[in-house]
Structure 1
Amino acid sequence: MSDLLKNIDARTRLAGTNKLEILLFTLGTDQRTGKRETFGINVFKVREVMRTPKITAAPEMPDTVEGMVSLRGVLVPVVDLARYVAVAADTPRDIMIVTEYNGHTQGFLVEAVDTILRLDWSQMRVPPDMLTANMGGLVTAVTELPDGRLVMLLDVEKVLSETTRYDDSHMFKDIKPISDGGKHTVLFADDSSVARKQISQTLDMLGVPYISTINGRKAWDELKMLASQADAAGHRVCDVISLILTDVEMPEMDGYILTRHIKSDPRFEGVPVVMHSSLSGMSNQQLGKSVGVDEYVAKFEPQRLAETLRRLISRHAAMLAGK
Structure 2
Amino acid sequence: MTRSTAAYKEAISAVGNTIEVLLFKLTGDQLYGINVFKVKEVLPCPPLNSIPNSDDSVPGCAHIRGQTIPVIDLAQAAGMGELTDLEDRFLIVTEYSRSIQGFLVYSVDRIVTLQWSDLSKAPAGVGEDNYLTAVAKIDEKLVEIMDVEKVLDEVNPVDEEIQEDIVPDEIMHEEHDRKLMIIDDSAVARKQIKRVADKMNIESVQAINGQDALDYLTKQAADGHNLNQEIYAVVCDIEMPGMDGYTFATKAKADERFNQIPILLHSSLGGVLNEELVKKSGANQFLAKFEPNELAKWISTQVVARGGTVEEA
TM-score, normalization by structure 2: 0.89
Tell me what 2:230 maps to: 240
Counterpart pick for 1:142 among 135, 138, 145: 135
Contact 1:22 1:42 in 2 (8 A): yes
Q: CA deviation at 1:292?
A: 0.9
Tell me the amino acid that sits aligned with residue 113 of structure 1: V
Tell me what 1:168 maps to: 159
Deviation digits for residues 249-308 of structure 1, max 9, x if unmatched? 111000000001101111113221111111121221221121111122221111111111
Percent identity between the two aligned chains:
37
Tell me what 1:76 maps to: 69
Q: Name the CA shift for 1:77/1:171 in 2 (closer, same or farther; >3 Å).
A: farther
Structure 2 unmatched runs, 5+ = 309-313
User: Match of 1:202, SS?
Assistant: helix
Distance in 1, matches of 2:42 and 2:142, equals: 22
User: Match of 1:48, SS?
Assistant: strand
Counterpart pick for 1:58 among 51, 66, 69: 51
Contact 1:132 1:138 in 2 (8 A): no
Counterpart pick for 1:214 among 208, 218, 224: 208
Distance in 2, matches of 1:6 and 1:115, equals: 20
Counterpart pick for 1:159 among 146, 151, 155: 151
Tell me what 1:10 maps to: 10
1:120 counterpart = 2:112:
no
Contact 2:267 2:287 in 1 (8 A): yes
Tell me what 1:182 maps to: 176
Contact 1:189 1:212 in 2 (8 A): yes
RMSD: 2.3
Distance in 1, matches of 2:6 and 2:280, equals: 25
Contact 1:271 1:316 in 2 (8 A): no
Q: Name the CA shift for 1:28/1:132 in 2 (closer, same or farther; >3 Å).
A: same
Contact 1:172 1:202 in 2 (8 A): no
Counterpart pick for 2:38 among 38, 41, 45: 45
1:255 counterpart = 2:245:
yes
Deviation digits for residues 129-187 of structure 1, max 9, x if unmatched? 33345xx2311111111x321111112212211112x3514346655451545121111
TM-score, normalization by structure 1: 0.87
Tell me the amino acid that sits aligned with residue 8 of structure 2: I
Deviation digits for residues 69-96 of structure 1, max 9, x if unmatched? 1122322111111222233477745111
Q: Name the CA shift for 1:213/1:154 in 2 (closer, same or farther; >3 Å).
A: same
Distance in 1, matches of 2:32 and 2:113, equals: 14
Distance in 1, matches of 2:291 and 2:264, equals: 14
Tell me the amino acid that sits aligned with residue 157 of structure 1: E
Q: Which has the higher helix share?
A: 1
Distance in 2, matches of 1:238 and 1:268, equals: 5
Q: CA deviation at 1:213?
A: 1.1
Contact 1:185 1:211 in 2 (8 A): yes
Counterpart pick for 2:223 among 219, 223, 229: 229
Tell me the amino acid that sits aligned with residue 243 of structure 1: A
Q: Name the CA shift for 1:171/1:180 in 2 (closer, same or farther; >3 Å).
A: closer
Distance in 1, matches of 2:182 and 2:83, equals: 42
Q: Name the CA shift for 1:79/1:175 in 2 (closer, same or farther; >3 Å).
A: same
Tell me what 1:274 maps to: 264
Distance in 1, matches of 2:269 and 2:67, equals: 21
Tell me what 2:311 maps to: none
Distance in 1, matches of 2:79 and 2:291, equals: 30
Tell me the amino acid that sits aligned with residue 27 of structure 1: L
Q: Name the CA shift for 1:314/1:110 in 2 (closer, same or farther; >3 Å).
A: same
Tell me the amino acid that sits aligned with residue 191 of structure 1: D
1:110 counterpart = 2:105:
yes
Structure 1 unmatched runs, 5+ = 30-35, 319-323
Q: Is the deviation greater in 41-50 or in 77-86?
A: 77-86
Contact 2:31 2:143 in 1 (8 A): yes
Aligned residues: 303
Contact 2:122 2:134 in 1 (8 A): yes
